[in-house]
Structure 1
Amino acid sequence: MSTTTTSYAAGPAGVSKHAESPLPTTATVPSRIPGERPRTGVTFARLVHVELRKMLDTRAGRWLVIGIGAVIATALVILFFNNGGQHSFEDYLQATTMPQAIILPVVGILAVTSEWSQRTGLVTFGLEPRRGRVAWAKLVAALLVGVGALVLSFVLAVVAHQAAITFRGIEGDWSIAGLTLLGASLYVLLGLAQGVGFGMLFKNTPAAVVVYFVLPTAWSILGSLVSWVGDVGRWLDLNRTMQPLFEGSLTTEQWARLGTSVGLWVVLPLAVGIWRLTRAEVK
């Protein structure tokens, strides 16, 4: 069966006349795409895997990792030749963890802000509309990067200290306090979590990076100049509250101070950042 449409064409004397052309009324239905239909959404493990690739398999992330490696290599070489290489394993471990604790949080910031600065949020939240799961996947991926960095720093410290014993003839000192090891681990992991929180909070790379580095430093400087700020800083300055961990002893009050500062600088930015991430307009 067919139907006709009427069109108008000008005749020789300028008088329009009807022209009829048949059009089919039936349309071809595309065939069913072969294969099994998905029955579940994107798994959380896959989301974490994707966020790990975003952190490390990008130009910015790759150069940050290269920069961290260069700083660590320089620090180990200095320790190896300085003072005849006579340094403890704890000194070598500190040389490998401190650069990571300072620079790795920027990787966490970029993992969040890239969704907005590079406009990939439409793809990310289109494939996984549940933004809360994406936010938690970013945090878990950042912590996994931190765990991997800690393992690598431990291995590098062992190799460097053993090399100093073998080639420099120093006396080995493998002793390290458990709280010191815990402090180094928390310093790296909390920094990464804080970076992710600041990234979610600001959704802008320059703003998040500047505030992450400047605000704690400004707080410490202000605390040294103003007495009442210094008293408050004993509870709210994360650098000061973590210092007893590296000294190898923590009292009950010091644990309370550490928990308070972590709540202010890590938990609060994460909570507010996740709330903003789930409600921000994606463009």
Structure 2
Amino acid sequence: MSAAPASAASAQSATRDPAATTRRGPTLPRLVASEWTKLVSLRSTLWTAAVTVAVAFTVTYLSANASSGDPGFDPARSLPDGVALSQLGTLVLGVLAGTADFRTGAFRSTFTAAPRRGRVLAARTIATAGVGAVVALLAVAATVLGVVPAARSRDMSVDLAGGSAPQVLLGSWLMLLGMALLGLGIGSLLRRTVPAMVAALALVFVLPVGISLGAEMAMSPTEMMAESPAGPASLDPVSTVTAFLPGDAAFRMTTTADDGGVDGAPDLGPWGGGLVFAAWIVLPLAGATLRLRTRDVT
């Protein structure tokens, strides 16, 4: 007679055991697979990826052909020209990935099935990184194809294994991938597509131009005509601030140490630019994680 109550008590205690409940919940690999499926199922993902690759090829093709007549033409130096504009595509891709659940209202079912919100964001980050890596690889390949016609017109070969080409290609790939993660962080933090899109575009593209124009407008004609003092120690505050913004820092990864930095700004180099860009990626993702854990998802 006591066996039935004992078994019922053990079953009830197992139900109340948080560890047992956690073990039965969605695992990180399953969440990653779910987020991957949701992301690649969006029409906006496919369209954004296609436009990103097309822009990378077109801009590189036009830039390489325009500079192919120069005596010192180097096909490898035209490779970053395509990713300078196609980074917009992966940035938008990340924003859409971060806001998709909140835009459609699917976040309710997502967080009901997986109450550990930080794990959901981690899975979404991994899935976005996977999709972004594929799109970035295709875009970088498109830049290589865009350089080939100009190189052949000069009877030159595109050497991808020699000189600065490996670093330029790797830096371009990391730049495009990083923009997807930056967009994801901003989208996950703001949760609304339009505000997140405006914030991302303003941070990467508009803010550097606005700072430079604002500084020029604030200068008097005398100051603008005056020559800046020569020497490596003379740093311009505007150029210094701009160098640490995500767009400029990310583009430094597509350059080599021989290219040097911007006049009046510290020479971050490819590694320094990559570290600054990584910090910009971590910042909104950390803010999104904190918001998920401390505030409601409405």
Q: Distance in 2 between matches of 1:243 and 1:165?
A: 24
Change (3 A) 1:282 1:240: closer
The aligned residue for residue 171 of structure 2 is 183
The aligned residue for residue 44 of structure 2 is 60
- Answering whether residue 59 of structure 2 is matched by residue 71 of structure 1, we say no
2:156 to 133, 153, 171: 171
Change (3 A) 1:96 1:260: closer
Please tell me the residue identity of whatever aligns with 1:247.
Answer: T
Change (3 A) 1:218 1:71: closer
Alignment partner of 1:226: what SS? helix
Q: Is the 1:92–1:160 Cα contact (8 Å) retained in structure 2?
A: no
Deviation of 1:183 after TM superposition, in Å, equals 2.4
Q: Is the 1:235–1:261 Cα contact (8 Å) retained in structure 2?
A: no
Alignment partner of 1:173: what SS? coil
Q: Is the 2:80–2:168 Cα contact (8 Å) retained in structure 1?
A: no
Please tell me the residue identity of whatever aligns with 1:171.
Answer: M
Give 1 or 2: higher strand fraction: 1
Deviation of 1:205 after TM superposition, in Å, equals 0.3
Q: Distance in 2 between matches of 1:222 and 1:157?
A: 29
Could you tell me which runs of 5 or more consecutive residues in structure 2 were left unpaired when the two chains were aligned. Answer: 1-21, 217-235
The aligned residue for residue 11 of structure 2 is none
Identity %: 24
Change (3 A) 1:229 1:116: farther
Q: Is the 2:175–2:253 Cα contact (8 Å) retained in structure 1?
A: no
Change (3 A) 1:199 1:257: same
Q: Distance in 1 between matches of 2:48 and 2:118?
A: 27
Deviation of 1:217 after TM superposition, in Å, equals 3.6
1:112 to 76, 91, 98: 98
Please tell me the residue identity of whatever aligns with 1:269.
Answer: P
1:259 to 259, 269, 275: 275
Output the aligned Cα RMSD.
Answer: 3.5
Alignment partner of 2:24: what SS? coil
Deviation of 1:242 after TM superposition, in Å, equals 3.9
Q: Is the 2:172–2:254 Cα contact (8 Å) retained in structure 1?
A: yes
Deviation of 1:56 after TM superposition, in Å, equals 2.3
Q: Distance in 2 between matches of 1:248 and 1:152?
A: 22
Please tell me the residue identity of whatever aligns with 2:129.
Answer: L
The aligned residue for residue 194 of structure 1 is 182
- Answering whether residue 56 of structure 2 is matched by residue 40 of structure 1, we say no
Please tell me the residue identity of whatever aligns with 2:253.
Answer: L
2:246 to 210, 214, 238: 238
Q: Is the 1:222–1:229 Cα contact (8 Å) retained in structure 2?
A: no
Please tell me the residue identity of whatever aligns with 2:207.
Answer: W
Name the stretch that deviates more: 85-94 or 168-177: 85-94
The aligned residue for residue 50 of structure 1 is 34
The aligned residue for residue 108 of structure 2 is 122
Q: Is the 2:52–2:86 Cα contact (8 Å) retained in structure 1?
A: yes
Aligned residues: 244
- Answering whether residue 247 of structure 2 is matched by residue 247 of structure 1, we say no
Q: Cα deviations across residues 26-69 of structure 1 (Å, max 9, x unaligned)? A: xxxxxxxxxxxx97332322222222222221122222223224
Q: How does 1:12-51 map to 2 (within 5 A)?
A: 40-51=24-35
1:132 to 118, 124, 130: 118
Deviation of 1:99 after TM superposition, in Å, equals 4.5
Deviation of 1:190 after TM superposition, in Å, equals 1.8
Q: Is the 2:61–2:150 Cα contact (8 Å) retained in structure 1?
A: no
TM-score normalised per structure 1: 0.70
Q: Distance in 2 between matches of 1:156 and 1:112?
A: 26
The aligned residue for residue 4 of structure 2 is none
Q: How does 1:266-281 map to 2 (within 5 A)?
A: 266-281=281-296
Higher-Rg structure is 1
Q: Distance in 1 between matches of 2:154 and 2:209?
A: 42
